[in-house]
Chain A
Amino acid sequence: MFTETPFGKYKRRSELLARCVLGGMVAAMIIPLFLIVGYLVKEAWPLLSLNFLFTNPTGGMRHGGIWSALLGTLYLVTLSLLIAAPIGVMAAVYLNEYARDSWLTRVINLAVVNLAGVPSIVHALFGLGAFVLFAGMGRSILAASLTLAIMTMPVIIASTKEALSAVPLSFREACWNVGASRWQTIRGIVLPNSISGILTGVILQVSRTAGETAPIMFTGAVFFKKIEAGNPLAYSIWDQCMALSMHLFTITTQVTDAPHALPFATAVVLLATVLVVNTISIALRMYLRSRKRW
């Protein structure tokens, strides 16, 4: 009954063209990415093994593995998140649950947003000035972790606030109406129903912390440090440490005539760590979305 008019045909073709062009643009970004990652893995292949992870670098870092760097990154990530997550979550609880809409609140929100956009090298300068020098910690895991904590805190605050606001206001009102205090409401209804979103945000910061180089370059990470292989307690917080991200930088730019596969293997380990952690966070988010309680 309905035959296609010439205009209809034109519409269809135009939409197909648009879809192809735009889809092509998306593909142009993604396909080279897969190719690059594939190339990295291929070049790294000869060196990738569990042994690589658990032995120390030797021979001026031209041989051996990356154990000391891996452990250092583990220390930095754990310590910085232990500092940033509780403070960040509590700050977000204050901003979302307690703060009245006033000029002070608006300034705080602005501060959080801008803190999130500070370049990582400026964080390095801050860490150097504040923790290494002013507070007298010297270059150490502690100073580097504090610097990383300041870097991740604003993002944790923002993502926690988002998780808290997802809980409808009507629940809080129902609690206030029966005489519950703000904290009782938060503890009984708000936090249990947003903890999953909060966790997702914190996990994302794990991968970001593991990958950052600039903030730790001048506050606690070093080119080389000899530690006992296979001992998870080899560092103390006053030590300087090696870190996976720093190690990649060093091997790529400072170590000449390293075997071809070595920097590739280091890059692949770092990339894999980051991607695995992020995938966990994404999977957690999708699982929780399917389990909504209202």
Chain B
Amino acid sequence: MDQEVLELPQTARPGPAKEPGRTALARARSRRQWELGFETALEWLIRLCGISAILFVFGIFAFVLREGASFLFSSKFSLTQFLFSIEWYPTSMSNVRYGVLALIVGTGSVTILAMVIAVPFGLGAAIFLSEFCGGRLKETLKIVIELLAAIPSVVWGFIGISVMNPVIQTVFRVPVGLNVMNGATLLALMSVPIMVSIGEDALKAVPDSYREAALAMGATRWQTITRVLLPAAKNGLLAAVLLGVGRAVGETMAVLMATGHAVKIPHSVFDPVRTLTATIAAELGEASVGSSHYQVLFIIGILLFSITFVVNLSADLIVKGVRKG
């Protein structure tokens, strides 16, 4: 079928004397059948692996949905009560209520505060690396930031408990150090690396001609950055922030350990909260398989999956928009 013995081209009259190579190639063994079959099988295996990626995304959604489905679609479950009630009493004997609003606010408050801290530092670092830094220093800083990103979230949680907790208690003179502030600081430190890396890429992508034009007009470095580069890179920078948000929303262990255990809407940054992720982690072990509590935790999982899906999709589309535009 495919690779066959090479045949001599037909000529109307005998050509010049055959060179040595010609007969050798003509005599070459055709590639054995098993080699051809192996190659076809391999190509099919490779194709299958490619398709598997979609299967896994749908698989995740499907299996998580499956566990929570029967309760989700039953009459006892009310979507409005679920999303908009702050009353979370899954283990109550008499009056079971599944309102996750407090948890959503918990996730939201920690994420927003984290972004308030992380975005200036992250973008500032990205600008510093891209515009004010060269050679060795830049390489070193990039490596340090990469290592910062590698720190596991349980270690961050431990830092939250053993280091941040006493620090917050002393510095801000509050009785409890496991709160929104603690969690937000940790999340900020965890999301900064990804913001710096993507932000720096976005700034690097702005052509040098922009910088040269601004300098030729007499602008200072800072004016060049604020008035020319940041607007030009705004899509990439926005995507960087979105990815940081996605990371923060999905974080589990650090917030589980560092934000306390109060399912309440916080009134200050020094109040303890519970996030959606921490709730699942904390309560899944106790809920018996198949019970409604168990199923509600899976429904929270679906909620989380949807939120991060939307955030990542937006970031991805914005980046694609940059490439086209």
The reply, when asked whether chain A contacts chain B directly with Cβ atoms under 8 A, is: yes
A residues adjacent to B (C-beta < 8 A): 7, 10-11, 14-15, 17-19, 21-23, 25-26, 28-30, 33, 36, 39-40, 43, 87-88, 90-91, 93-95, 98-99, 107-108, 110-126, 128-130, 133-134, 150, 153-154, 157, 181-183, 204, 207-208, 210-214, 217-218, 245, 248-249, 252-253, 263-264, 267, 270-271, 274-275, 278-279, 282
CB < 8 Å neighbour of B51 from A108, A110, A214? A108
What secondary structure prevails in chain B residues at the interface with A? helix
Q: Is the CB of B125 within 8 A of A29?
A: yes
Interface centre among A29, A115, A116 (most CB of B within 10 A): A29
Complex: how many Å from CA A246 to CA B67? 25
Residues of B within 8 Å of A11, CB to CB, are: 220-221
Name 15 extra pairs, CB < 8 A, besides A94-B50, A214-B277: A23-B128, A88-B49, A91-B53, A98-B47, A111-B54, A117-B243, A120-B250, A122-B250, A125-B298, A150-B56, A153-B56, A204-B150, A208-B152, A214-B281, A271-B155
> B78 interface residue, CB < 8 Å from A?
no
> B159 interface residue, CB < 8 Å from A?
yes
> B313 interface residue, CB < 8 Å from A?
yes
Instruction: Please give the distance in Å from B60's CB to the nearest CB on chain A.
Output: 5
Residue in chain B with minimal CB distance to A32: B189
Q: Is the CB of A114 within 8 A of B309?
A: yes
Q: List 28 A-B contacts (CB under 8 A).
A: A18-B220, A22-B124, A22-B128, A25-B128, A26-B125, A26-B129, A26-B141, A28-B121, A29-B121, A29-B192, A30-B141, A90-B45, A93-B49, A108-B50, A111-B58, A114-B57, A115-B57, A117-B312, A121-B252, A122-B305, A124-B281, A125-B301, A126-B59, A181-B2, A183-B43, A212-B153, A213-B253, A282-B143
Q: Is the CB of B53 within 8 A of A111?
A: yes
> B263 interface residue, CB < 8 Å from A?
no
Take A211-B155, A248-B155 as given contacts and tell me if A25 and B308 are in contact as well, using a CB distance cutoff of 8 Å.
Answer: no
Residues of B within 8 Å of A263, CB to CB, are: 158, 162
> B86 interface residue, CB < 8 Å from A?
no
Residue in chain B with minimal CB distance to A279: B147
Q: Mark B134-147, 1 if CB is under 8 A from A, else 0.
A: 00000001011011
Complex: how many Å from CA A16 to CA B43? 58
Residue in chain A with minimal CB distance to B303: A122
B residues adjacent to A (C-beta < 8 A): 2-3, 39, 42-43, 45-47, 49-54, 56-60, 63-64, 66-67, 120-121, 124-125, 127-129, 132, 141, 143-144, 146-148, 150-155, 157-159, 161-163, 189, 192, 218, 220-222, 225, 243, 246, 249-253, 257, 277, 280-281, 284-285, 289, 297-298, 301, 304-305, 308-309, 311-313, 316
Complex: how many Å from CA A15 to CA B131? 11
Q: Is the CB of B64 within 8 A of A125?
A: yes
Q: Is the CB of B189 within 8 A of A29?
A: yes
Interface centre among A112, A120, A182, A214 (most CB of B within 10 A): A214
CB < 8 Å neighbour of A121 from B54, B148, B289, B301? B301
Q: Is the CB of B53 within 8 A of A129?
A: no
Residues of A within 8 Å of B59, CB to CB, are: 126, 130
Complex: how many Å from CA A253 to CA B192? 27
Interface centre among A99, A111, A218 (most CB of B within 10 A): A111
Instruction: Please give the distance in Å from B8's CB to the nearest CB on chain A.
Output: 16
Residue in chain B with minimal CB distance to A278: B150
Residue in chain A with minimal CB distance to B159: A36
Interface centre among B52, B121, B225, B304 (most CB of A within 10 A): B52
Q: Is the CB of B311 within 8 A of A119?
A: no
Instruction: Please give the distance in Å from A201's CB to the nearest CB on chain B.
Output: 13
Q: Is the CB of B218 within 8 A of A90?
A: no
CB < 8 Å neighbour of A282 from B39, B132, B146, B298? B146
Q: Is the CB of B39 within 8 A of A183?
A: yes
Take A22-B132, A87-B49 as given contacts and tell me if A115 and B60 are in contact as well, using a CB distance cutoff of 8 Å.
Answer: yes
Residues of A within 8 Å of B225, CB to CB, are: 18
Complex: how many Å from CA A43 to CA B153? 20
Complex: how many Å from CA A117 to CA B57? 11
Q: Is the CB of A214 within 8 A of B46?
A: no
Complex: how many Å from CA A112 to CA B308? 14
Take A25-B125, A252-B161 as given contacts and tell me if A211 and B60 are in contact as well, using a CB distance cutoff of 8 Å.
Answer: no
Q: Is the CB of B281 within 8 A of A121?
A: yes
Complex: how many Å from CA A89 to CA B53? 11
Complex: how many Å from CA A276 to CA B251? 23
Residues of B within 8 Å of A19, CB to CB, are: 128, 132
Residues of A within 8 Å of B297, CB to CB, are: 125
Complex: how many Å from CA A26 to CA B132? 12
Take A98-B43, A114-B309 as given contacts and tell me if A22 and B127 are in contact as well, using a CB distance cutoff of 8 Å.
Answer: yes
Residue in chain B with minimal CB distance to A274: B150
Q: Is the CB of A22 within 8 A of B147?
A: no
Residues of A within 8 Å of B243, CB to CB, are: 117
